Amino acid sequence: MKFSDPRLFKLLREFFKVHLPMRQHCSEHTIRAYRDTMNKFVDFVKARKGVKLEEVTFDMLSRDELVAYLDHLVRDLGNSLTTRNQRLHCIRAFFSYAADADVTLASYLDKLSSVCDSRQSERMAVEYMSESAMSTMLSSPDASVRRGLRDKTMMILMYDIAARVGEIVGLRIKDIRFESPAVVSLLGKGKKERVVPISEKAVRHIKRYVELYHDGREGNPDSPLFYASYSSSKHPMTTDNVRRMILKYAKIAHKKNKEVPEHVHPHMFRHSRAMHLYQSGMSLPLISQFLGHSHLETTMIYAYADTEMKRQAIVETEKKRTHETGGNGIRLCKVDNEEDLKKLYGLKC
């Protein structure tokens, strides 16, 4: 295959195969996040330019295309500003590496560096579903059919243990312990392992799922818990597959319950679980441990979001009261037609 810009694909390969794992010592989750970002950015530019993959060049990955891509994430895909900023960071990291490897590419990094992070507070970017919405979401898959059982089990487990999507697809059979108390071992950011409890409801679904998909745990304990089969072997599901699956059920659930957003992404399960635990009275230090946060300050976003939600409810109530009373405590009458309005203002008897 002949590339229009061989440097681009050579540097991409070195970035993912050498720089991130061997020089930066990044975890598999981190490398997957960088790779996912660059894949999506290149695909986005390829579609806009109407070119084949091998025809994509550094010139095409311009500042204007980057801005359009970041806007697309928020506006069209419903991604949070946090996700937007993370994608921007990944793309900048590649261009920084490229500029170090080839000084003639420094101008590209310089132009992309002018694209700023979103300045909206991280605390304002918490997207979560109400308990009613989450219940509708989890009941959407039909567990009486094979695929529905898999999807339902994955979503229940993802919510139950507040897992990141990368943690879910990285689970192996041996990471689940059914003996009481049932727990799951998760490998999180920075290769940090944490052990979290599983509810009885989740255990029941996982057992049914394992019985059907893994012959009752008789297979290889290192096999991925959630997998796709091809080439006569089991491979972990991709994060893109999980996102598409969740979006499909979100559309179904939204028709039943308008509290369910039309655009639901996997991380909303984690945020929702954390918010529901906080609202039910669990302390922030315990939630922080449950989520695997390194700093309690990170967990404070849920306390802030809950406080902000209550503040907005008070504001809306006050607006309604002011509208009904005119701000002076006297309830205003509601006029529905022009005839009554004229009578009220003395224009007609």
Q: How far apart are CA 234 and CA 219, in angstroms?
A: 11
Catalytic-residue membership of 189: yes
**Helix, strand, coil shares of the chain as percentages rounded to 5?**
60, 5, 30
- Return the amino acid letter for 138: L
Catalytic-residue membership of 293: yes
Nearest to 137 by CA among 272, 39, 295, 22: 272
Catalytic-residue membership of 164: yes
Q: How far apart are CA 119 and CA 122, in angstroms?
A: 8
Give me 109's structure tokens: 């990094």
Q: How far apart are CA 290 and CA 196, in angstroms?
A: 7
Nearest to 97 by CA among 23, 157, 171: 23
Q: How far apart are CA 266 and CA 159, in angstroms?
A: 9
Distance of CA 113 to the CA centre of its chain: 25
Question: Could you tell me which residues come within 8 angstroms of residue 241 by beta carbon, excluding any fewer than 6 positions away?
Answer: 228
- Return the amino acid letter for 148: G
- Backbone phi, then psi, for 332, in 5-degree steps? -85, 145
Give the angle 69-17-99 at the CA atoms, nearest 5°: 55
Helix/strand/coil for 10: helix
Catalytic-residue membership of 267: yes
Give the angle 277-282-284 at the CA atoms, nearest 5°: 100
Catalytic-residue membership of 270: yes
Which of 111, 177, 189, 207 is the catalytic position?
189
Which of 19, 84, 152, 164 is the catalytic position?
164
81-101 helix and 28-49 helix, angle to the nearest 10 degrees: 90
81-101 helix and 63-75 helix, angle to the nearest 10 degrees: 160
Which of 19, 150, 270, 271 is the catalytic position?
270
Nearest to 236 by CA among 165, 150, 170: 170
Which of 267, 271, 273, 276 is the catalytic position?
267
- Residues with catalytic function: 164, 189, 267, 270, 293, 302
